[in-house]
Structure 1
């Protein structure tokens, strides 16, 4: 029997890969590794679709994180995000705006750590077929987004707090640190978060229906 990181409950990646990549008794570890690397590469690519903003840029990478986690499953999705993080820390220009290096130098460092947990959560939900219905997919993406905020906002608060009132008051024009964290780290992204969840809610169930139709022919 071949080694594999594929979940016992198949996710979308396990249904759409060509038959040539399948083994008689499971998927090879090499195929899983390729999926992990591919997920990290997709996240790096979408990180470069950005609107320059400070302290948190607006990018496409959060959509990539949730999509990768959902399509690959919990383990492979979280490993893919861990690889993305390590690659960036080691110097590959994979973070937003082609940046890299220590997370402690980034006000968005907490979000990048949160990518791992978010991918694990949405992958776990996908293994329980949440991504096969519109509402389930939207709720799954919303939950993953909350996880990213749970990691990212405390980090942002510490970063802005260290920079001092001259930054969050004089530069960002907020009266308090809490208002700065909300106004710069949450409010500008809420509409985009909703759009991403709705797009996923339309895309992923449709992909499952397409795969089911092809397999039934």
Structure 2
């Protein structure tokens, strides 16, 4: 439980690193770095549980979402799909990490980019519905500006996690 709570708190902390995107209701944040790290470290079920806990704590009023926001309305709003996308992303990254794909940078980087893409696969369609915008607009305000940051976050995790596993030795999970 402590690990799951810690991972939820890490995601909440990283959510506070937020940059507004002109014309977009969705800010660039560091949350997905927390999702990737939690999933790789905890595995699919505990990683998914940590992100579900993160959502629940933010929904009930703790200032866990970007810029200290909270509430169920955030999950239903334009940013909600990205938040909800953390749950399947954590599961899939955790599943692949359990198979050792997080152990070497050349396999970790594509895995962590794929985790970012899962978040977008949920977030962009949700943005279309919540903000009532078309696909082209959603891509221009909800995907394209986030690609460089997503790659950077995946690269950070792709370098740091294999180094961390090398330091702590073989996992027992």
> Please, what TM-score do these two structures have when normalized by structure 2?
0.91
Q: Does 1:136 align with 2:93?
A: no
**Who is 2:79 aligned against?**
108
**Who is 1:118 aligned against?**
89
2:31 to 61, 78, 81: 61
Q: Does 1:38 align with 2:6?
A: yes
- Spell out the pairing of 1:161-200 with structure 2 (5 A cutoff): 161=132, 177-200=134-157
Q: CA deviation at 1:160?
A: 2.1
Q: Does 1:76 align with 2:33?
A: no
- Larger mean Cα displacement after TM superposition, 201-210 or 76-85: 201-210
Q: CA deviation at 1:148?
A: 0.6
SS in 2 for 1:130: coil
Q: CA deviation at 1:50?
A: 0.6
**1: CA distance, partners of 2:109 / 2:32:** 14
**Who is 1:164 aligned against?**
none
SS in 2 for 1:132: coil
> Please, what TM-score do these two structures have when normalized by structure 1?
0.74
Q: CA deviation at 1:212?
A: 2.9
Partners of 2:75 and 2:84 within 8 A in 1: no
Deviations along 1:91-131, whole A, 9 cap, x unmatched?
11100111111245521101111101100111111110001
**2: CA distance, partners of 1:201 / 1:141:** 7
SS in 2 for 1:131: coil
Which contiguous aligned blocks of 4+ residues in structure 1 show a shift greater than 2 angstroms? 103-106
- Larger mean Cα displacement after TM superposition, 104-113 or 130-139: 104-113
Aligned-residue Cα RMSD (Å) equals: 1.4
Q: CA deviation at 1:182?
A: 0.7
SS in 2 for 1:73: helix
Higher RCO (CA < 8 A, seq sep 6+): 2
Counting matched residue pairs gives 167
**Who is 2:159 aligned against?**
202
2:124 to 150, 153, 157: 153
- Give structure 2 stretches of 5+ with no counterpart: none
**2: CA distance, partners of 1:104 / 1:37:** 20
Partners of 2:59 and 2:75 within 8 A in 1: no
